[in-house]
Structure 1
Amino acid sequence: MTAHEALSPDASRDEAARNEALRVRIQQEMTDSLDEELELELDDARLDDLDHGAHALHPSLDRKVYFKELLRLQGELVKLQDWVHHEKKKVVILFEGRDSAGKGGVIKRITQRLNPRICRVAALPAPSERERTQWYFQRYVAHLPAGGEIVLFDRSWYNRAGVEKVMGFCTDEQYQEFFNTVPDFERMLIRSGTILLKYWFSITDEEQQFRFTMRIHDPLKQWKLSPMDVEARSRWELYTKAKETMLEHTHLPESPWWIVDAVDKKRARLNCISHLLSQIPYQQVEHAGVTLPPRVRNPDYHRGPIPPEMYVPAKF
């Protein structure tokens, strides 16, 4: 008799239900991966052509509603960008949270239709030996915006309150000095005219486990799973304690933290973008109409032939 045969009928049904739930969850994750690619190509003309039944694996949020809201919010982000550039405002948005919490996903949707000369992402690598001897905030200051720019920090100076503390990359003295310094540092930014927003993306232990497992088995996402991420799984409670301490010390009246429930990635993206737009008093900037000049044709100009070997092979 096999182990499965030894199970009672009720236990067998429970196991089958768990397996089916896992299968559906995996299908949802794979569908979401396809959606991510679709989002990057989607435009208004194609939106209404989506199969209305294609969202069956996403009962939590209708896919058509999601795409429409995403495009609407991205239109507002373009207005925000124009206002920031026109008014020479400085905007800094911090995205923090556990590994796999969805920070990169929302950053991608924010920047997707914006001008990279105005809105850029700062995702700093581990500090060099030289940077470790600098004032802690020094390398972050170098990435702060000038007037007319938006900078999104994919992890920020709060590394010291999280990964550096948990992984032992800083001393207790450096850790305490961070909490002593960061309120004044952020107040200086705000007094200088910088608009500062801080978001923490929150997911459950079970959701992180699932997302890590999907990354392990997805060759297109394996690069996202670093040795540090793997180590973080065994230190879940230490990261939780570090987060609680961080929020206690740095949830300031001038620069409060905003928590994004990120278990549902699509809802998290829409909620975060909608919220950040509500926090900045932007207005639509009127632009003069654009008229293309007539095409100038020179009868003496003759376009020369291009050698066939210079063309990219037309495989598709």
Structure 2
Amino acid sequence: MKIVFYIILCISIFSCTSTKNNSDFVDLSESTILQSPETILRFEDKYPVSIKIVDSLLFVINIKADTCIDVYNIETRQKIKSLGSVGYGADDLINPTFILSVDVDRVLLDEGNLKKIVEIEKDDNGALLLKEYIPYPDSIFISSETNLSKNYIVGRKIDATNPNMFFVYNRNTGKTLKAKCPITLNESVSDYNYTFASIVALNEQQNRILVGMYFFDLIHVYDLEGKHIQTFKFSEKCIPDVNKNTKMLALDNGYSGFTRCFPTEKYCYLLRMIVSPMAEKTESMLIQTDWNGNMINSYRFVDNVSGQFYIDENAHKVYIIRNEWDADINEEVFDIVSFNLK
């Protein structure tokens, strides 16, 4: 009787694990190669990490600089203004990130030091300045991967003890819905927030949230009620093992995952990284999906790219940060470049 019970228990556990980790495989073998980009700007003394374009203005978030944000005229390539002194003062910034939005055409920043959602806007004289857009809701402070729509804020809460993959904050009711990762691991981990680190894209009109994962080669599709709809995997070894001793993901042999995303009305674009310990550089891809997670196009970068990118669907271009070694000055340099997606 005990043997029969044990067999039934094993079958039940296996069935549950298989269901949770079930996913559709996406073939990336026919990806388009992206090369010969146009160089927009070059930085030899700054470290750009995020970009956003509104009309003719290019907004660049830097680290390792006295000010966080530089604004350029993208047509003339001239700098217009620097914003956001780095510090802990009442009006200083520490680590701002662009808030993603399909339907809010503003330059919004998630800035934990001020505990505000900040907007970059023009005053009556046309000068650019930082201004509070809305207060930071207490229940989701402090967050990352923030998306904002008319009725919702979606993102990932930064908390080592937080087991959830993302949250959905209702701006009208003040209620927060929390969604856990649908993946079952072979061992418990010491830091679920780090292990299940995710990127998040929101489209309120289509009732969809797309979630990519830093260390898992997976994209998950949810609705705004937190219901898991589908998962897509991009390699056979899409879920890394867990080191039993450290309770951390075993990433020494390499991994693939998603580090940035960009939502538009019809599509979602995700930056996929393939990290190999034997390769000289990290391989990067751009995946375009619809809001049900179905792949539309996939692109493979020849260059080493990173950071928050921007998609201009009218011009069929992706603007992204590229870094390379400049032999003439014997230093690493960073460029903002554009690739044609036609």
TM over 0.5: no
TM-score, structure 2 normalization = 0.23
Which has more strand, going by share of residues? 2
Q: Which has the higher contact order (CA 8 A, sep 6+)?
A: 1
Whichever of the two has the greater Rg, that structure is 1
TM-score, structure 1 normalization = 0.24
Which has more helix, going by share of residues? 1
